[in-house]
């Protein structure tokens, strides 16, 4: 497989003004006839260049230019390209291809899922449908005819407006769709199947009525309300916060069972993984409800940040993904609890993204090169990309940021553009210089901020010294300093102190003079605060103002002050994590969990403090995850970390038994389920308390879990109880698992949770269970949700079992990757990620993991997806 470089970008030699597609969907094969109105691009460097069309795994039936069939001598094929040498400056290209969607297990291009036809074209799937200029900077107006058996496929959908729908002879029907907005091929979609629909409407800010439709299988009609409400909320929010109105008269969502990612923003025909659209209290956890809300909004927001203004090339992927994640995070934050949302986002970033930045696949949010673009739908492109946009928002402030986004959308509506265009719009609208800030786009790796503080009693000054650095990453040995917005406050005995900075030009003004955003831009920089009346504790990186690793040598006493008093919810939580980390580190060192009394006291106090947000209490009590600890403690001794963390949890549970029990009782409620922030918070705290109590192995607590499992009507409480039982030695666990399966065997999404809870069990013997479950009738390796729930959860979220000392789980994962490499390469390469982190672990584990990677690499027919990840991880 070859490497593609950003520096090789050239404008397309040809443009496609209009695209006419006719699909005849059959049980045996599908015929696709295309008619493309093409012309040479006046901006192309070479006006006599041959026409090169992309196409993969296609059966070519016919090819004609301006109605004349081409002879075999007039075209040739090379790799993924179909080349026609002599073409006029403007012409009509007709092409017929034949496909076998029912055999397409890659879930890319046109494929079948639960009997219906559907498509997934991003990033380069359209070339599996017909020969085309399958690149995002070629935008065309699409008209699509779909012909299919009307019994089997009564619903026929594509992008844009329905132009006609008619019955044909021989039991077929035909619909014609036209999308007036020029779009790249990756936003094309088609759906055909037997689908039920939930309808609603939305009146836009200019009074236009939009039909909203969610298409699902009949049995799922009762699970669409939350997605519909989320969609309407998202549409209103985008009008209010960004001034963006929906632009067509119809917006469709279709749910499919087999999908490689969460959802896809095809113009006016979003296709969703069922797991990201269906929700009802009995089957869906609170996290599931929140995911539906977030993904529905994310895909909707793409209508502007991605569709109306799209990417010039795939190196610019973060232009649409980073910006859209930033937008959906702000939306979720407005719909629920902002601090909880921030903590969840930072947790993902500091575990998964920091790990990616420190590993063999590290790449800037605008990569310079790739082998397989599907491998670059990463936490770096999405989550770090969103953090970079968030920093621009912090640097500009909300008003200028909005001015910048208005300018960006106005200036580039209907265009395919670059990250540079986005930054330039922000600069032009605000007048703020983002020259150095651009390093965030071109440099990979997580910057480190080493901060120290000195208080001078005599002069009443407090000096913060900040040093920044960034580790080398593949291909980037040296890094230039970043422009980092560092939000700070100084916390005194009684709360935040007023800030008087020496050299005002060094900071960004904020309304409140007790918090400042410092512009860190040099490798080493001092910030001096004047008139500081007492020795403060610095509250740093408030709200996690930049995606960096902060190092400050806090004492326990300082952390306790922050955990108790900091007005910034994120920093309060972060202090709790830091204190938990100190306890775990000391448990590792002493092989015993003798908790510091002050730590127990502060946990006791927050447990009892009913004025606090219950969700934040839950988050502050939860110790740093094993995944996060593995980012901090090197080399990673998975078993040592697990034992130490569990012993600290148990010691805390022991010390706070009564308080936990009281808190559990207090959070019990019989009210009807609602996915409100307040109810979600209460369930989260209750289930956190239960999981602590279960560590004590007392009958009365096991009974609590049993009774919660038996009597809860919502999936959040039911699954939390089941998870507690599965991870305990309770006799009831086998029966509980059996009961759960029996009750939900006809609900695939619930059965996936059943797989997952077993795959994540940290007790010995889980690999055996996982292997057995792979033979369970409900498991299907062709379905990505099931693969993720069972194999993905076991290998990615069950450290102690995945890293069993005999290396059996490494072997297991490599076997599954080799199997999936043939059927679904995108899923294979994603599944593989835990093995690629081999360098972090103890030497014995490293050796075993390395051997499995080599075994994968020696496979003769490796997909480009798997090849790229394995070969880079061995370099």
Report the interface residues with Zn ion, using CB under 5 A.
321, 324
In the complex, the smallest distance separating the C-beta of residue 259 from ligand HT7, rounded to whole angstroms, is 7
DSSP string, 189-256: -EEEE--EEEEEEEE-TTS-EEEEEEEE-GGGGGG-HHHHHHHHHHHHHHHHHH-----SSEEEEEEE
Nearest residue (CB) to Zn ion, 379 versus 487: 379
Q: Which residue is nearest to ligand HT7 (CB)?
A: 261
Which is nearer to ligand HT7, 123 or 848 (by Cβ)? 123
Contact status, residue 234 vs residue 301, Cβ threshold 8 Å = yes
Window 363-402: residues binding ligand HT7 (CB under 6 A): 374, 377
Q: Which residues contact 775 (CB under 8 A, 6 or more apart)?
A: none
If the CB atoms of residues 142 and 272 are measured against ligand HT7, the closer one turns out to be 272
Q: Which of 299, 631, 659, 852 is catalytic?
A: 299
> Contact region for ligand HT7 (CB under 6 A) — 263-271, 406-414, 585-593, 788-796?
263-271
- Residue 561 binding target from ligand HT7, Zn ion, none, CB below 5 to 8 Å by type: none
Q: Cα(495)–Cα(489) distance, rounded to whole angstroms?
A: 10
Min dist. Cβ of residue 382 to ligand HT7 (A): 7
The count of chain residues that interact with ligand HT7, using the rule CB under 6 A, is 15
Q: Which stretch binds ligand HT7 (CB under 6 A): 225-233, 294-302, 400-408, 555-563?
A: 294-302
What DSSP character marks residue 382? I
What angle is formed at CA 148 by the lines to CA 144 and CA 149, rounded to 5 degrees?
160
Q: Which stretch binds ligand HT7 (CB under 6 A): 255-263, 339-347, 410-418, 584-592?
A: 255-263
Burial class (CB in 10 A: 0-12, 13-18, 19+), 777: exposed
Q: Which of 198, 264, 423, 828 binds ligand HT7 (CB under 6 A)?
A: 264
- Residue 299 annotated as catalytic: yes
CB of 794 to Zn ion, least distance (A): 27
Cα 288 off chain centre by: 14
Which tokens sit at 98? 């034949």
- For residues 475 and 362, what is the distance between their CA atoms, to the nearest angstrom? 10
By beta-carbon proximity to ligand HT7, the closer residue of 124 and 574 is: 124
Angle (nearest 5°) at CA 298 between 295 and 303: 135
- Residue 49's closest CA among 75, 4, 88? 88
The DSSP secondary structure of 786-828, one letter per residue, reads HHIIIIIHHHHH-HHHHT-TT-HHHHHHHHHHHHHHHH-HHHH
Strand ranges for 90-189 from DSSP E: 90-99, 109-113, 116-120, 140-149, 155-158, 161-167, 172-183
In three-state secondary structure terms, 309 is strand
Query: Per rule CB under 6 A, is residue 265 in the interface with ligand HT7?
Result: yes
Cβ proximity to ligand HT7: between 122 and 515 the closer is: 122
Nearest to Zn ion of 324, 525 (CB atom): 324
Residue 377 touches which member of Zn ion, ligand HT7, none, C-beta under 5-8 Å by kind: ligand HT7
Is there binding between residue 123 and ligand HT7 (CB under 6 A)? yes
**Binding partner selected for residue 717 from Zn ion, ligand HT7, none, CB under the kind-specific 5 to 8 Å limit:** none
Candidates 118-126, 199-207, 563-571, 677-685 — which segment interacts with ligand HT7 by CB under 6 A?
Answer: 118-126
CB atoms within 10 A of CB 76: 12
Q: Which one among 97, 175, 260, 290 touches ligand HT7, defined by CB under 6 A?
A: 260
- Tell me whether residue 427 or residue 865 sits nearer to ligand HT7 (CB atom): 865
Q: Which region, left, alpha or beta, applies to residue 495 given φ > 0 means left and ψ of -120 to 50 means alpha? A: left
- Provide, rounded to whole angstroms, the least separation between the CB of residue 636 and Zn ion: 31
Residue closer to ligand HT7 (CB basis): 263 or 606: 263
**Distance from C-alpha of 266 to C-alpha of 158, rounded to nearest angstrom:** 9
In contact, 678 and 335? CB cutoff 8 Å:
no
Shortest Å, Cβ 136 to ligand HT7: 11
Q: Answer yes or no whether residue 122 interacts with ligand HT7 by CB under 6 A.
A: yes
- CB of residue 302 vs Zn ion: minimum separation in angstroms? 6
Residue 299 touches ligand HT7, criterion: CB under 6 A: yes
Rg of the chain, C-alpha, whole Å: 28
Tokens at 303, concatenated = 């209508």
> Alpha-carbon torsion 794, 797, 801, 807, what sign?
positive
Contact positions with ligand HT7 (CB under 6 A) in 815-834: 826
- Cβ of residue 271: shortest distance to Zn ion, in angstroms? 13
CB of 324: closest distance to ligand HT7 in angstroms? Answer: 7
Of 262 and 492, the one with the shorter C-beta distance to Zn ion is 262
Nearest-angstrom CA–CA distance, 626 and 623: 9
865 touches, from Zn ion, ligand HT7, none (C-beta below 5 to 8 Å by class): none
Show contacts with ligand HT7 in window 742-761 (CB under 6 A).
none
Minimum CB–partner distance for residue 106 and ligand HT7 (Å):
10
Identify the sign of the CA torsion 53, 59, 64, 68.
Answer: positive
Report the partner that residue 120 touches, choosing among Zn ion, ligand HT7, none (CB closer than 5 to 8 A by kind): ligand HT7
**Residue 600 Ramachandran class (φ > 0 left, ψ -120 to 50 alpha, else beta):** alpha
261 interacts with, out of Zn ion, ligand HT7, none, CB within 5 to 8 A per kind: ligand HT7
The catalytic residues are 299
Contacting residues toward ligand HT7, per CB under 6 A: 120, 122-123, 260-261, 263-265, 298-299, 302, 321, 374, 377, 826
């Amino acid at each position: 497989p070859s490497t593609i470089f950003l520096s090789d970008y050239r404008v397309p030699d040809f443009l496609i003004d209009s695209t006419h597609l006719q699909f005849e969907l059959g049980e045996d094969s599908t015929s696709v006839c295309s008619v493309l109105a093409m012309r040479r691009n006046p901006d192309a460097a070479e006006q006599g260049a041959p026409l090169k069309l992309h196409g993969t795994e296609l059966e070519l039936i016919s090819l004609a230019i301006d109605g004349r069939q081409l002879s075999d001598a007039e075209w040739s094929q090379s790799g993924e390209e179909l080349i026609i040498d002599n073409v006029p400056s403007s012409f009509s290209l007709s092409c017929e291809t034949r496909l076998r969607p029912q055999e397409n297990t890659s879930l890319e291009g046109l494929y079948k899922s639960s009997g219906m036809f559907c498509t997934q074209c991003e990033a380069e799937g359209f070339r599996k449908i017909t020969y085309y200029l399958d690149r995002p900077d070629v935008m065309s107006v699409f008209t699509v005819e779909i012909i299919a058996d009307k019994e089997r496929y009564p619903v026929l959908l594509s992008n844009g407006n329905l132009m006609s729908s008619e019955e044909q002879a021989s039991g077929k029907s035909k619909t014609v769709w036209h999308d007036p907005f020029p779009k790249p091929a990756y936003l094309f979609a088609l759906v055909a199947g037997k689908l039920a629909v939930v309808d609603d409407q939305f009146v836009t800010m200019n009074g236009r009525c939009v039909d909203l439709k969610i298409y699902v299988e009949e049995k799922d009609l009762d699970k669409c309300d939350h997605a519909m409400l989320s969609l309407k909320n998202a549409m209103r929010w985008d009008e209010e916060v960004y001034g963006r109105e929906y632009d067509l008269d119809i917006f469709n969502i279709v749910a499919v069972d087999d999908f490689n990612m969460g959802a896809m923003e095809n113009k006016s025909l979003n296709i969703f993984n069922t797991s990201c659209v269906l929700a009802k209290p009995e089957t869906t956890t609170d996290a599931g409800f929140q995911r539906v809300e977030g993904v529905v909004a994310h895909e909707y927001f793409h209508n502007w940040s991605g569709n109306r203004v799209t990417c010039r090339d795939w190196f610019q992927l973060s232009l649409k993904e980073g910006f859209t994640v930033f937008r959906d995070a702000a939306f979720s934050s407005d719909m629920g609890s902002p601090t909880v949302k921030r903590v969840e986002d930072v947790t993902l970033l500091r575990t998964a993204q920091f790990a990616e930045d420190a590993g063999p696949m590290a790449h800037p949010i605008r990569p310079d090169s790739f082998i397989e673009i599907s491998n670059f739908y990463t936490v770096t492109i999405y989550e770090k990309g969103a953090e970079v946009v968030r920093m621009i928002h912090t640097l500009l402030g909300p008003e200028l940021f909005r001015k910048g986004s208005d300018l960006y959308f106005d200036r580039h509506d209907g265009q395919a553009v670059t990250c540079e265009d986005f930054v330039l719009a922000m600069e032009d609208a605000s007048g703020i210089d983002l020259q150095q800030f651009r390093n965030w786009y071109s440099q990979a790796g997580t910057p480190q901020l080493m901060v120290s503080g000195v208080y001078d009693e005599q002069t009443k000054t407090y000096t913060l010294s900040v040093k920044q650095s960034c580790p080398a990453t593949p291909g980037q040995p040296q890094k230039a300093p970043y422009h980092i917005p560092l939000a700070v406050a100084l916390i005194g005995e009684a709360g935040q102190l007023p800030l008087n900075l020496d050299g005002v030009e060094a900071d960004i003004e904020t309304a409140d003079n007790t918090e400042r955003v410092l512009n860190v831009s040099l490798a080493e920089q001092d910030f001096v605060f004047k008139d500081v009346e007492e020795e403060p504790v610095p509250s740093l990186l408030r709200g996690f103002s930049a995606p960096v690793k902060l190092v400050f040598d806090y004492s326990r006493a300082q952390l306790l002050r922050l955990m108790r008093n900091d007005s910034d919810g994120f920093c309060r939580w972060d202090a709790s994590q830091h204190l938990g980390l100190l306890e775990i580190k000391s448990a590792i060192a002493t092989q015993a969990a003798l908790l510091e009394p002050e730590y127990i006291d502060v946990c006791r106090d927050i447990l009892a403090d009913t004025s606090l947000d219950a969700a934040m209490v839950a988050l502050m009590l939860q110790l740093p995850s094993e995944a996060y600890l593995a980012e901090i403690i090197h080399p990673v001794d998975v078993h040592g970390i697990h034992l130490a963390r569990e012993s600290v949890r148990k010691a805390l549970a022991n010390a706070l038994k009564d308080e936990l029990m009281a808190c559990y009782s207090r959070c019990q409620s019989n009210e009807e389920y609602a996915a409100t922030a307040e109810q979600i918070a209460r369930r989260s705290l209750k289930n956190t308390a239960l999981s602590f109590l279960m560590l004590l192995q007392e009958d009365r607590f096991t009974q609590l879990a049993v009774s919660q499992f038996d009597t809860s009507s919502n999936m959040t409480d039911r699954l939390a109880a089941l998870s507690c039982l599965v991870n305990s030695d309770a006799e009831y666990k086998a029966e509980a698992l059996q009961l759960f399966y029996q009750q939900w065997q006809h609900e695939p999404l619930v059965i996936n949770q059943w797989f997952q809870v077993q795959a994540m069990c940290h007790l010995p013997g889980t690999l055996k269970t996982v292997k057995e479950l792979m033979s369970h009738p409900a498991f299907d390796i062709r379905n990505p949700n099931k693969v993720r729930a069972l194999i993905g959860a076991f290998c990615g979220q069950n450290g102690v079992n995945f890293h069993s000392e005999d290396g059996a789980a490494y072997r297991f994962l490599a076997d599954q990757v080799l199997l999936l490499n043939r059927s679904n390469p995108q899923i294979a390469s994603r599944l593989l990620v835990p093995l690629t982190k081999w360098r972090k672990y103890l030497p014995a584990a490293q050796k075993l993991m390395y051997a499995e990677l080599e075994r994968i690499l020696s496979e003769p027919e490796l997909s480009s997806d798997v090849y790229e990840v394995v070969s880079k991880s061995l370099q």
